[in-house]
A = this chain, B = another copy of it.
Amino acid sequence: MSTIKSDLGWSTRERIVVRGKDLPGEILGTLSLGDMAFFELTGNVPNEKQSRLFNAMAVTLVEHGVTPSAIAARMTYLGAPEAMQAAVAAGLCGLGSVFVGSMEGAAKILSSGKTAQEIVAENKRIPGLGHNLHKPVDPRAVRLFAIGRETGFYGKHCELMEALGREKKLPVNATGAIGALACELGLDWRAVRGIGVMARAVGLVGHLLEESRQPMAEAIWHQVEAQATQHIDKK
């Protein structure tokens, strides 16, 4: 039976404390949003190198243009502009197995202690490899591994991810690189999808602000509806 217990934060009239640090006195003005995320996930304030790497990983997933999640968020905003939090939520709901979830899958496989050969033998599809658009390389993965090297975190998990790519003759994509680097940083694989979720929340707010000024949702709706029913004889 679980017990009701949390160590993330507490408040009294005078104080707000997050993971043991006084929020106004020790965190605000000191930690950036990315460093706060690292602190929230690990309990440790990142050092400069950890901060540089972790922020790069998170920033990678903020914005990738008009993606399915951005479209879902914009369609939601069209119906409920007074509830933009719900539009962000709608956009996040699709960050599952097909897109962002592959980060989690990659981290899980890489932290399993298995060799590239074992992994290839056991998995028909390896998460974090291949991309429908970015071929023959995903430039985000290249850059992330470079930052991994610059900060001294490129290690065995990254090597394993790249070995898997060579075995399968597929490029490591951004989610594979992030999964591997998350392992190097010692992050729990269960937190890895969360990095993508928080990053996309940032990007979705950007899309909704653009939607509020330069809307596209209604045009998408009418265009899609017309196409979807053009095969029907409407009489």
Contact B197 A2, beta carbon cutoff 8 Å: no
Contact A23 B60, beta carbon cutoff 8 Å: yes
A135 in contact (CB, < 8 A):
yes
Contact A201 B198, beta carbon cutoff 8 Å: yes
Give the most central of A10, A87, A93: most B CB within 10 Å: A93
For A207, give the chain B residue with the smallest CB separation: B8
The answer for the CA separation of A68 and B164 in the assembled complex, in Å, is 40
Q: How far is the CB of A30 from chain B (nearest CB, A)?
A: 8
Q: How far is the CB of A15 from chain B (nearest CB, A)?
A: 7
The answer for the CA separation of A144 and B66 in the assembled complex, in Å, is 34
Which residues of chain B have C-beta atoms less than 8 A from A84's C-beta?
190, 193-194, 197
Contact A36 B65, beta carbon cutoff 8 Å: no
Q: How far is the CB of A192 from chain B (nearest CB, A)?
A: 10
Contact A80 B95, beta carbon cutoff 8 Å: yes
Partner of A14, one of B90, B139, B206, B229: B139
A97 in contact (CB, < 8 A):
yes
Interface residues of A in 57-88 (CB under 8 A from B): 58-60, 62-69, 71-73, 75-88
Which residues of chain B have C-beta atoms less than 8 A from A92's C-beta?
85-86, 88-89, 92, 201
Interface residues of A in 1-25 (CB under 8 A from B): 1-19, 23-25
Stretch of A115-123, A152-160, A213-221 contacting B (4+ beta carbons < 8 Å): A213-221
**14 residue pairs bridging A and B, Cβ less than 8 Å apart:** A4-B223, A5-B227, A33-B33, A33-B62, A40-B62, A40-B202, A41-B209, A71-B75, A80-B95, A85-B94, A86-B94, A88-B201, A188-B212, A216-B224
